[in-house]
Structure 1
Amino acid sequence: MKAALEHYHARMRRVLDHIDRHLDADLDLEVLSGVAAFSKFHFHRQFTATFGLSVHRYVQLARMKRASYLLAYADAQSVTNIAMDAGYDAPDAFARAFRQRFGQSPSSFRNSPEWEPWLAAFGPLDNARSKLMKTFTTDDVTIRDVAPTKVAIMEHRGDPATLGATIRRFIAWRRAAGLHPKTSPTFNVWRSERRPSSPAAYSTDLCVGTDRPIEANGEEIKIGEIPGGRCAVLRVVGYTDNLEPAALYLYRDWLPASGEEARDFPIYCQRLSFFPEVPEHETVADVFLPLK
């Protein structure tokens, strides 16, 4: 029974991966049921029962998430092109759907995103993807000797719902500084829990590795270092928006059983690939737990 269930879930994960990889293509029931190798007469109910969303709504949300990322973080893309990529025949239809979901027009969101409605809109998508989330084992954890890395830091302090605004500023600043992710590594240092008891207590650092002199260009940029030393490292592939399960596994499960002791530096991650540059299921991040 367990093997059969794992096989069933693998077929469903194959569908999600296909959707992510082919957001510009025809994703009707016949195509997706074929990817899963399920009968098209039952696939819709099977998908809804597994993920809590219909196939149609899941595809809509996945396309709309990519569109919202492009609006917020990719100024070079026109609203018309983003609308077409999201599966809409005309910008007006895209604008109506976007406003209905987020309470803003695409142009307004591009200029000044309101992140709380955005987070709420994608809650069902995140919940659906968590249904078949990979479970970690000790075989997934390696211990590395990590070299120290000098970093430029933009701090985010306060409500995590406003983190998107800090990320926008961070991306704009690093572009102006010529610190491209392909040549200058990207780190997040988590100085609080993902959901602290008070939103005001949320604290994380957005970091870019660089040895160059830094020009702040009007931003509050600090210079620091991610220290070298031994680290337990857990690689996460796919849907790296929420790395809390990986961090919890390292703290709660791996560390007590390993006999190791945590060092006095926060858990952090290095982001190795980014959505929407790659499909969401192909994003990669390494989570580091510093050890003594």
Structure 2
Amino acid sequence: MKPALENYHARMLRVLDHIDRHLGDDLDLETVSRIAAFSKFHFHRQFTATFGLSVHRYVQLARMKRASHRLASNDAQSVTDIAMDAGYDAPDAFARAFRQRFGQSPSLFRKSPDWGAWLAAFGPLDNARNKLMRITFSNDDVTIRDVSPTPVAIIEHRGDRKTIGDTRQRLMDWRNAAGLPPEISPTFMVFRSERNPANPAEYRMDLCVATDRPIEANDMQVKAGVIPGGRRAVLRYPGNTTNLEPAALYLYRDWLPASGEEAGEFPIYCQRRLSLIPESPAHEVVLELFLPLK
């Protein structure tokens, strides 16, 4: 990457870090553009072009994410105080915005969070940060584990990746009806084709939810299955993303030839789960990519 572009990206990332550390402060366009050392007359267009979100939208999502963390982990703080900290003048306005985003009132989310809707709601925020993250891997990032077979509920996606949202929604609807939230039942994605095959119709992926419950006949095409056990090369991805291609390329192109290992018969797959970060009351996503070995 050219030095000028590296400098540009560093300034933009400095803005995100400032926003994340100062969510309770005034984050108007003039303040934020000054952090990046960009003209305020152009900065909002530069930010939107870089991250796919306006500054206002990014701040809104970041404050709502913090509010959801506090609701789920801090019973002592009132909904009114959380609403004010999130930038809302009244709790009813906060409640409307919260319900629109998560499908739950703040009070219901505090009692029984729908983490599936939570993950979907913050996809744009995760994507914004991932746009400039230049993630590199080394052999030290890969561990070899012996894993046990995992019974799962499976929904098969076959066809253009553009339609995968419909498949994912059917699985979410099924898991919600089955009472299997992501904090107790991790999600697996089994990649059975290239991410971008020459013919988009040949894209194939299985979406799975860990469960050993019997799967009754249903209209959502969810069926029972098993992710087999065995030896796995495991690479943890530092963040939430829908594009694990860089991590998969590293395992196949760099780690595998140097390791002396051989890939097994089962496809590469990913486990996505919610985790409580130590010393922080925030649920975050942990992604691990599994390469089966012989």
Q: CA deviation at 1:216?
A: 3.4
Give TM-score scaled by structure 1 length.
0.64
Q: Which 5+ residue runs of structure 2 have no aligned equivalent?
A: 65-85, 94-99, 104-123, 276-280
**Alpha-carbon distance in 1 for matches of 2:149, 2:138:** 27
SS of alignment partner, residue 248 of structure 2: helix
Q: Aligned partner of 2:285: which letter?
A: T
1:253 partner letter? D
Residue 186 of structure 2 corresponds to: 185
Deviation (angstroms), 1:170:
0.5
Q: Secondary structure at the match of 1:245?
A: helix
Deviation at 1:19, TM superposition (A): 4.6
- Give the aligned partner of residue 243 of structure 1: 244
Match of 1:285 among 257, 282, 287: 287
Secondary structure at the aligned position of 1:272 is classed as strand
Shift of 1:284: 2.1
The CA deviation at 1:164 is 0.7
What CA distance in whole angstroms lies between the structure 2 residues aligned with 1:47 and 1:258?
Answer: 47
User: Given that residues 44 and 55 in structure 1 are in contact (C-alpha distance below 8 angstroms), is that contact kept between their aligned partners in structure 2?
Assistant: no
The 5-angstrom pairing of residues 10-29 of structure 1 reads: 12-13=12-13, 15-17=15-17, 19=19, 26-29=26-29
1:161 CA displacement: 0.5
* Counterpart-to-counterpart distance in 2, 1:279 and 1:16: 18
CA distance in 1, matches of 2:39, 2:249: 37
Aligned to 1:214: 215
User: Secondary structure, in 3 states, of the residue corresponding to 2:57?
Assistant: helix
Q: What CA deviation, in whole Å up to 9, does each residue of 1:55-106 have, x standing for no partner?
A: 9735536858999xxxxxxxxxxxxxxxxx899x9x9xxxxxxxxxxxxxx9
Distance 1:47 1:139 in 2: 39
The alignment's TM-score, normalised by the length of structure 2, stands at 0.64
- Cα distance per residue 1:170-196 (max 9 Å; x no partner): 001011111221222211111111111
**SS at structure 2 position matched to 1:187:** strand
SS at match of 1:189: strand
Q: Is the 8 A contact 1:47 1:53 kept in 2?
A: no
User: SS state of the match for residue 285, structure 1?
Assistant: strand
User: What is the letter of the counterpart of residue 183 of structure 2?
Assistant: K
Question: Are the aligned partners of 2:188 and 2:207 in contact in 1 as well (CA < 8 Å)?
Answer: yes
What secondary structure, in the 3-state scheme, does the structure 2 residue paired with 1:173 have?
helix
Name the CA distance, whole Å, in 2 between partners of 1:252 and 1:162: 29
Post-superposition Cα deviations, 1:81-133, rounded to whole Å, max 9, x if no partner, equal: xxxx899x9x9xxxxxxxxxxxxxx99xx9xxxxxxxxxxx7xx958733332
Superposed, 1:1-292 pairs within 5 Å as 12-13=12-13, 15-17=15-17, 19=19, 26-29=26-29, 31-32=31-32, 38=35, 40=37, 53=50, 57=54, 59-60=56-57, 126=127, 129-273=130-274, 282-292=284-294
* Gaps in structure 1 of 5+ consecutive residues: 68-84, 92-105, 111-121
Aligned-partner Cα distance in 2 for 1:48–1:136: 32
Aligned residue pairs total 241
RMSD: 4.6
User: Per-residue displacement from partner, 1:215-239 (whole Å, max 9, x unpaired)?
Assistant: 2332212221111111111111223
Distance 1:28 1:66, change over 3 A: closer
Q: Give the percent of matched residue pairs that are identical in Structure 1 and Structure 2.
A: 56
- Contact persistence 1:157–1:203 (CA under 8 A): yes
